[in-house]
Structure 1
Amino acid sequence: MSGPLSPWQQRLYTHAAASLDGGRMGHGLLICGPAGLGKRAVAERLARRILSQQRGEDGEPRPNDRSSQLIDAGTHPDLHVVSFGPTKDGSKLRTEIVIDQIRELSQKLSLTPQYGSAQVAIIDPADAINRSACNALLKTLEEPAPGRYLWLISAQPARLPATIRSRCQRLEFRLPPREESLAWLQGQGHSEKSAVEALDAARGHPGLADEWLREDGLALRKAVADDLAKLEKGQIGVVETAQRWANDELADARLRHAADLVLAQAATAGLTDAARLNKLAAWFDAANRTRDLLRTTVRGDLAMVDLLLAWAGGDRARAANTARN
């Protein structure tokens, strides 16, 4: 999300700014909640407020504030953003945040700020920090210097060690009320009918609904649902479907849609069909594990074959694919 803050972002920003101005914001802050609700935008707006040198009566940076200009240019020396860095050979980005990145960040935070009296560090996504890096981060959280702010952004905070979570205040994003989400979606230029359809498909998540409406996500979602239904009935082959799902830039999106569709099925299965519910729950977990595998060196099509084979029914699917070949 970009531009003005959405209503739910503004509420959380106002709350955090009041804590900041009242001296109630500690060194560590865990900004968490579902992906796509704009956590990073709120963190960056807070960083502007902290690092600004010229503020209005409302505490917000003035239009000609030099710090804001440096942040816009990506060159503010006291704002540090840590995310996925390049591999040693520089050929691609890492799939985790490593100890060298955290050590470098800790060293920067130990130095005197170059502008004003504060430094802000944002780690996004914090749940991608590996174990060694977590240990290094814990030391930084335990020994804060005055005027240093360390903010962790995470859609899956449970993946962070309890020792880190316990040392952070929490700013938690939740799905906003339906009417607010619909009004916001229409404000983004979507028709009421499209907004309702997308928000229902996204189970009340306005960020996902907006993304799907802008990027033909609903069409992809319907195609994934059709493939899952045909696979379960043996009407299409596992291998060719896996290759089609894995061999373009939409692989992760397909798996996200598939997991979400299966989760919706599990909700309707309820207690009426225990065997079906168990299958859906196991496959939901497997789909999310496969999403993680796609970020590694594992061949995506092979990982996808295993996943779709489980959905199609194992031995029956193998027999059908053998017959086709």
Structure 2
Amino acid sequence: MDAPPWHAEPWQRLLQRRQRKALPHALLLSGPSGLDKRAFSERLQRALLCTQPVDGDACGSCRACLLLDAGTHPDRIAVSLEERPDGTPRRDIVVRQIRTLSERLSKASQFGGWQVACIDPADAMNAAAANALLKTLEEPSASSVLILVADEPWRLPATIRSRCQRTEFRLPETEAALAWLQRKGVQDAAAALEAAGGNPGLAQRWAEQDALAQRKQVRADLRALAEGRGEAGTLAARWMDDAPEQRLWFAAQAAVDELRHRATGARTPLGSQLSTTELADWYARANRARDALRGPLRKDLLLLELLGAWR
């Protein structure tokens, strides 16, 4: 199995628990996006449903594995974001989906082994859906495993989190991340890893998407605003048209760099005229704006307000 090195420890821990027949009925896989939590979840689901596992991993050739490949295994249940009747994607997982899941888990396994259910993204469950899940978590069936995958686990109610065995995926050491990126053939791995804040999965994705050029442009835009050479409205419109959430990530990162340079007395790279307190506040506002882009607020006005405050 070509798993990233930061999966080794949590995988071995769950494998040992399975061998002791002490696997928890509910798992919460959490941590930053880009650490392949979903690949880990897929690997675990396949391993649990395979009838002839090899060293803890699915064999890939038994009947169960072939059904998994075809997406027709009757004991595997997936809950994710659905489409509305008009074809637009939902932003949340709704109570109807969780009730359907609970009903299926209340029935016996069709193959006589595990029933494996995955809710992804679990942090997208609305309040009613989360409340409906509580009963299933409190009264699990003996042969079921429920896997919740969440990039932002703090969005889940504490009552949900407390009833799950949490597996936290953390950023690997820089050397291990660089070695992995180099094996993946990422050019200028060090710069990509710095841009991604030490997250190797994001670094790989952004290197493939040439996001480093976008990062450079964001910094140039902020410098132009700080020097009075740019218009916040023009920049907000341009950012809005091209990956605004990613641009806000780079903008927040730039504010951190500005603060670091000030702390050492070095010349700041962007020449911000904000005070240190204002700069720290702007960093927090950039992160809140990035989060708010997923909601119903006017995205162009969010960007305009933030860029206006930088200038």
Aligned partner of 1:173 in structure 2 is 169
What SS class does the counterpart of residue 275 from structure 2 fall into?
Answer: helix
Which moved further from structure 2: 175-184 or 10-19? 10-19
Q: Aligned equivalents of 1:49 and 1:196: distance in 2?
A: 34
Shift of 1:277: 4.0
Q: Aligned equivalents of 2:260 and 2:109: distance in 1?
A: 51
Aligned partner of 1:144 in structure 2 is 140
TM-score by length of 1: 0.86
Residues 213 and 137 of structure 1, relative CA distance in 2, 3 Å threshold? same
Q: Aligned equivalents of 2:15 and 2:180: distance in 1?
A: 23
Shift of 1:33: 1.2
Aligned partner of 1:281 in structure 2 is 280
Shift of 1:269: 4.5
Shift of 1:153: 1.2
Which of the residues 64, 80, 83 maps onto 1:83? 80
- Could you give the per-residue CA deviations for residues 87-120 of structure 1, whole angstroms, max 9, x where no partner exists? 2322x11112221221121122112222232111
* Preserved CA contact (<8 Å) 2:123 2:155: yes
| One-letter amino acid of the structure 2 residue matched with residue 223 of structure 1 | Q
Which moved further from structure 2: 237-246 or 3-12? 3-12
Residues 75 and 311 of structure 1, relative CA distance in 2, 3 Å threshold? farther
- 1:1-325 mapped onto 2 (5 Å cutoff): 4-56=2-54, 58-90=55-87, 92-191=88-187, 194-248=188-242, 250-269=243-262, 276-312=275-311
Q: Aligned equivalents of 1:269 and 1:158: distance in 2?
A: 32
| One-letter amino acid of the structure 2 residue matched with residue 199 of structure 1 | L
Residues 104 and 222 of structure 1, relative CA distance in 2, 3 Å threshold? same
Which moved further from structure 2: 140-149 or 64-73? 64-73
Q: Aligned equivalents of 1:112 and 1:297: distance in 2?
A: 41
Identity across matched positions, percent = 46
Residues 158 and 69 of structure 1, relative CA distance in 2, 3 Å threshold? same
Q: What is the number of residues matched between the two proteins?
A: 303
Q: Aligned equivalents of 2:64 and 2:217: distance in 1?
A: 47
* Preserved CA contact (<8 Å) 1:286 1:307: yes
| One-letter amino acid of the structure 1 residue matched with residue 195 of structure 2 | A
Which moved further from structure 2: 213-222 or 47-56? 47-56
Where does structure 2 lack aligned partners over 5 or more consecutive residues?
Answer: 266-273
| One-letter amino acid of the structure 1 residue matched with residue 190 of structure 2 | V
Q: Aligned equivalents of 2:299 and 2:36: distance in 1?
A: 29
* Preserved CA contact (<8 Å) 2:26 2:163: yes
* Preserved CA contact (<8 Å) 1:33 1:155: yes
Q: Aligned equivalents of 1:284 and 1:298: distance in 2?
A: 20
TM-score by length of 2: 0.90
* Preserved CA contact (<8 Å) 1:30 1:154: yes
Q: Aligned equivalents of 1:173 and 1:210: distance in 2?
A: 17
Q: Aligned equivalents of 1:9 and 1:153: distance in 2?
A: 15
What SS class does the counterpart of residue 247 from structure 2 fall into?
Answer: helix
* Preserved CA contact (<8 Å) 1:51 1:116: no
Shift of 1:221: 0.8
